[in-house]
Structure 1
């Protein structure tokens, strides 16, 4: 009998790099772990660690009450589980598949129709981070379902957060953080390209980039959130007009260095639009109003 003290059996469906890491974390934590993947061979290393390789999806579903699904997209999620929908009554589906908020909401509605409970989650880490105490995971769905299975969910990352009853909210947070990641990394790579044009290694700039991010960028990100929520963009520090001029210089410098200025052009356009709209003396955070407006 499974008690609070004994790890719950888990079936992990989908054994790509992330799915294999999820199954590995459950095995390490002592969970009876059944695995299944559409293509053969990916379970071998996990079986060697003690996992049971289900012969088919029906066997994987039957083996555990908690089904952790990590596949390429929501179309694959539905294609895999639709044939066994009659066996999902009373199961808990933890869907860690990437997609859009409406994909998650549609999957939650579908799962409800099968009699299964459903949580939609997002792993804010790469596979090596799975199972670490600091690893962040977002979940959306029924709070009671999350609370009941919280110990099992936290095997995958100690910083597992329930964001609300809306199944789509985790996907929204995921997209938000990815927007920060991609734009920040692209900015860093642009900076490295600039210094590389003068034969300066990226490693020479990196320590100062870390200081800049810690002491300037992170406080700016936090301050921008407060400004956006209040709609107040007054500043006595650095105006939009001043930064628009700076972006113009950045584009010139990039062209002179022989690197593509494309990354900076939309930001320059946003700032110039704010200036044209009469908000040049306001803070950079006011760019939010251009970003969220319909294309003009």
Structure 2
């Protein structure tokens, strides 16, 4: 490998929504040697990125499954987009979350409350910097903080139901 050749990074990345911003992120990721998966409602928007070396995903779920890091570049019609995202990514996981809630078993090795605490804090701070009120995120953030303070930082997000089950604890 020459000194000027891009490094190949072991961790792949997914970018959903390669519009103007997403396309720039995909190009930068590819330039830095990341295996980059892309998904868009319109496969035509992803085609030029695939020609540059990105991997096209047929569905949102496939895109998210392709890497441990997913970046969402949300369009102005976010409500329609989020419904599709929910239907393909969140909804399939609901039976497993229901099982965890029923069994009160929330162990996870990936999406812990500690991880989500940092991600949500970043989203709130970024939103505030962009003039977006954090009103919807703050109660969620408070419940994550509460569960962590109770010693459950290694649990997953489904464990937040325990705050609702026992509001005085």
TM-score, length-scaled by structure 1: 0.31
Structure 1: tracts of 5 or more residues without a match: 90-114, 119-140, 146-163, 177-296
Over aligned residue pairs, what C-alpha RMSD do you find?
A: 3.1
Q: Which portions of structure 1, spanning 4 or more consecutive aligned residues, are displaced by more than 6 angstroms?
A: none
Structure with max Cα Rg: 1
Aligned 8 A contact 1:36 1:56 in 2: yes
* Corresponding pairs, count: 106
Q: 1:116 to 1:38 in 2, by over 3 A?
A: farther
CA distance in 2, matches of 1:57, 1:37: 8
Aligned 8 A contact 1:10 1:65 in 2: yes
CA distance in 1, matches of 2:121, 2:52: 36
Alignment partner, residue 142 of structure 1: 117
Asked if residue 67 in structure 1 is aligned to residue 70 in structure 2, the reply is yes
- Output aligned runs, 1:1-296, within 5 Å: 6-73=9-76, 74-83=78-87, 84-85=89-90, 116=111, 142-143=117-118, 165=121, 167-175=123-131
CA distance in 2, matches of 1:32, 1:88: 25
Give the 3-state SS of the residue equivalent to 2:45 in structure 1. coil
Give the 3-state SS of the residue equivalent to 1:12 in structure 2. strand
Greater RCO structure (CA 8 Å; 6+ sep): 2
CA distance in 2, matches of 1:11, 1:62: 9
Aligned 8 A contact 1:69 1:77 in 2: no
Give the 3-state SS of the residue equivalent to 2:15 in structure 1. strand
Aligned 8 A contact 2:14 2:37 in 1: yes
1:166 CA displacement: 6.4
1:85 CA displacement: 1.0
1:39 CA displacement: 1.2
